[in-house]
Structure formats: C-alpha cells, structure tokens
Chain A
C-alpha cells in the first residue's frame, strides 16, 4: 500500500527466496568476486556477438536463480526484466527461455530495483506466488550502442564510468525464507541540465538525492535505521555529490554506512580502467543480489536500502544536445529474523 507520496509498503513482506549473479572477467577480478555465483573468464561469454553474450548472462542468471529458489520454470508466475539495449532485446530474448508471463521494463541502470519493486508489488498484491526480477548489462553492448566501437581509441575523462558485465536475478515469493522486501520508493525524473554523457554520476545525483529524501519522508525512518545504504552506480563523482547535497539538506546520511555499488564492485586503484567506477543495470543487481543478500543471510546486515539510479538518455538525445533526465528507485530489504 501507498505510504506518503511515493513509497509502497509491502505489508506481507515478500521474500527473496533465491537469487543469482553471473559476471564477466573484470568484475570477477574485483573485491566482490567471492560473492558472485559464476564468473566467466572471457568478455565474449563464449558467444559470437556482444548482444548474445549479454543475453547469455541473463539466461544463466535467471535459470540459476530458479535453482537457488528451489522452484521449477513452470512454478514461476511472472518475470519482470529489462536491460539497456534498444527495445530491451536481452530481457525479451531471455524471457523466451524463461517461459513465464513477462513484463519488460526500462529504467536504464535503475532497472534492477524497478524490476524488484514491481515483482514485490505483484507478490504483495496477491498477483503471484513467485515472481522473478532480473536485469543484465554488458560492457561492450553498451559501448557499441551508446558510445564508440569497443576497440576505438578515444580518451575518456576521469568522470567516465565503466559499464559492468553481469546479470542478477532474484525470485520473490509470498512465503519462504530469505531477506524480505519491505518498502519501495519510486523515483521521479530529475534533470538538472547535465548534458555530458561522460559524467553520468553528476547527472544522476539529484535523482538519487530526491528519492532518498522522499523515502525517509514517506517512511518516517532515519538513515541510522539502516545498516547500509547504497546507491546504484553513481561512482566517485556522483556519490560525492549526493553526500554533499544530502548533508546540505540536513539529512544525517553519515550516521550509517553510505556506499555505492559502482565503487564497491571494483578496486579503482588496481583496476584503474574503470575510471570513476562501475555502472550499468547489472552493477546494482550483482552487488545487491550477490554481496548484500549474502551478507544479510549471514546476519551481518539487518536492514539495507538500495537506491538504483538510471540515466535515461539515448545516443540520439545527447547528439541532439538534450540534457540527461535521470531517475532513482529505492528498495528496502530486511533480514528475516529482525523485527521491524
């Protein structure tokens, strides 16, 4: 049900009964490598085209998530999925294999939490017993579609981010054991006139700040009610901006651990090619469904707020000089045993 202006409170507390993450070689070389379920040792993901590679990541993660959830394909009732490609082809082509009724969503890199919020909403509303949320991104498909050919030699500024190669899927159920989805705050489009596609962090920061503030206003919670608050893929520049804006606004975000999936997934000193940090809809998905869920299961985290951010630009829109509209969706997760 709706609380405040834009937050859903899931009274039945839908449970994430199983999740899976698969990543490419660079992510598998990063600090979170032990939290991923499968690491491909080649960027081609054993496929002939980048598009097929991205699809395979999603197919692999979705089938693995069902295995981890202990349910069959036939039991799955809805699949909510999206990616960054034109016409979200990775999601739809993977959904062909999943076979369940499918809802395609696009929220750029916020797709991870958009799909999870919708899956939880479906389950909470009694629309399904089992619904799966998923997303994927591949460094080279994104480079090819949004920027230059992957082998083209152009110098990227230090504000640029590296799209991660990986996919994360989670099965949300009305009963079972696992971390609970308790709230979702749906973001509004924010556009502060940033036009630089090589500085997405700065473009997305206002959207993240707006959703964070809205979440605390709607739920009446405070930052310290969470053990960890993570933004999706703001990376070093965007994350610093959000911190700055929130402290100027009087929100004591520093009372808890405030991090960013794009900063957590890579060791930026050693993997310096990632520049400002990781991005892509796979980024927040693999960090949340890998690292964060595993830590929650171990009891190291009780409450986590994930705010996935998306830059809703197209190659056409920025070539035509348009600024970048951005969005952020927040999902609150809670460990099973902890009381609300």
Chain B
C-alpha cells in the first residue's frame, strides 16, 4: 500500500517495500529499447523523400506551366497538402507516420494531416461545433508558436538591422 512519508510514496507488498525511484528502476528495466539511430534514419529517409516529391512537383510546374521557382512554390505546397489529405482520408497517413515518426510529421504534409484528421474526427459533432471548432486543435499551437517565433525574429531584425530579404 502506498503511504506518504518523508521519503515519498512507498509500495509495500508482503516482503518488499519500494520507493518511486526503486519502482522506476524496475519498470525501466522492462521497457523495450527504442533504436534512436534507426528512428532518426527512418525519419530522415521519409522526410527527405517527401521533400524530393515536392521538388519534382515544383520542377513540373516550372517546366510545363512556365513558372519561376518562386511562383511554383505555392502550387507545390498545395499539391503536397492535397496528397496528404487524400492519404489521411484513406487511413494511410497514420500508418506511414508510425514508421516514419518525425519524417512525416515535420513537413507540410504533417501539418495538413493534423488538420484533416481533426476535421474528420469531429465531423460527428457538426460543422460549427465540430469541424470548425476542432480543425485547429492540433495545428493551432503550430500557428501560435509560428507567429510568436516570426514576431521575435522580426523584432531582432528591426533592432539589429540584420540582413534578410527585403
């Protein structure tokens, strides 16, 4: 029975008495090891592959639609988002993500997935209180911190007059 004492919670059975630290040690010894190197490599490969697809799409816009690299970037992002939304709707994106980790979460496709999955999930609660209210449930914090970070960078830029594109 856990009893609060000065040394913290203790777990007592017939003959053993464990502190939270003792228990953590036992619990950690049974935790399967995650291969960080392999996970990083998978994330790198998948993330890189998504960027490669993006590059191909951009090249297509430049070659066949006569756009400049800058002009082609917006439709490229739109196409990647559509692909991500389709894969999310088909129930495939989350399976890729279990394998890829950050590789599929960090690119713009991960952002699209977070919005799309939230929208699908809350459809049952209606358009306004469901989809509308919950679509940014996960993506919202990305936008908030993105804007805050941009503001701080902007301040640094103004105060120190550091370089950058005008």
Residues of chain A having any CB pair with chain B under 8 Å: 48-51, 144, 148-159, 188, 190-194, 199, 202, 205-206, 209-210, 213, 217, 236-237, 240-241, 244-246, 248-251, 273, 276
What is the bound-complex CA distance between A150 and B121, given in angstroms?
7
What is the bound-complex CA distance between A5 and B53, given in angstroms?
65
What is the bound-complex CA distance between A278 and B9, given in angstroms?
29
- With A49-B124, A149-B121 as known contacts, state yes or no: A191 contacts B2, CB within 8 Å: yes
- Chain B residues near A194 (CB, 8 Å)? 24, 27
Counting CB contacts under 8 A, is B113 at the interface?
A: yes
- Chain B residues near A51 (CB, 8 Å)? 124
A144–B16 touching, CB < 8 Å: no
Min CB distance A289 to B, Å, is 29
- Sorting the interface of chain B by its residue count into under 10, 10 to 19, 20 to 34 or 35 or more gives 35 or more
A156–B98 touching, CB < 8 Å: yes
- With A206-B23, A237-B31 as known contacts, state yes or no: A155 contacts B116, CB within 8 Å: no
What is the bound-complex CA distance between A48 and B89, given in angstroms?
15
Counting CB contacts under 8 A, is B162 at the interface?
A: no
Q: How many A-B residue pairs have CB under 8 A?
A: 127
Interface residues of chain A: helix, strand, loop or mixed (majority): loop
Point out the residue from B2, B14, B138 that lies within 8 Å of A148, measured CB to CB.
B138
Kindly identify, within residues 91 to 150 of chain B, every residue whose CB is under 8 Å from any CB belonging to chain A.
Answer: 91, 93-102, 104-105, 110, 113-114, 116-118, 120-122, 124, 137-138
Point out the residue from B24, B26, B113, B122 that lies within 8 Å of A245, measured CB to CB.
B26
- Chain A residues near B15 (CB, 8 Å)? 249-250
B31–A159 touching, CB < 8 Å: yes
Q: Mark B4-27, 1 if CB is under 8 A from A, else 0.
A: 000001010111101010011011
CB-nearest residue of chain B to A213: B13
B120–A151 touching, CB < 8 Å: yes
Counting CB contacts under 8 A, is B32 at the interface?
A: yes
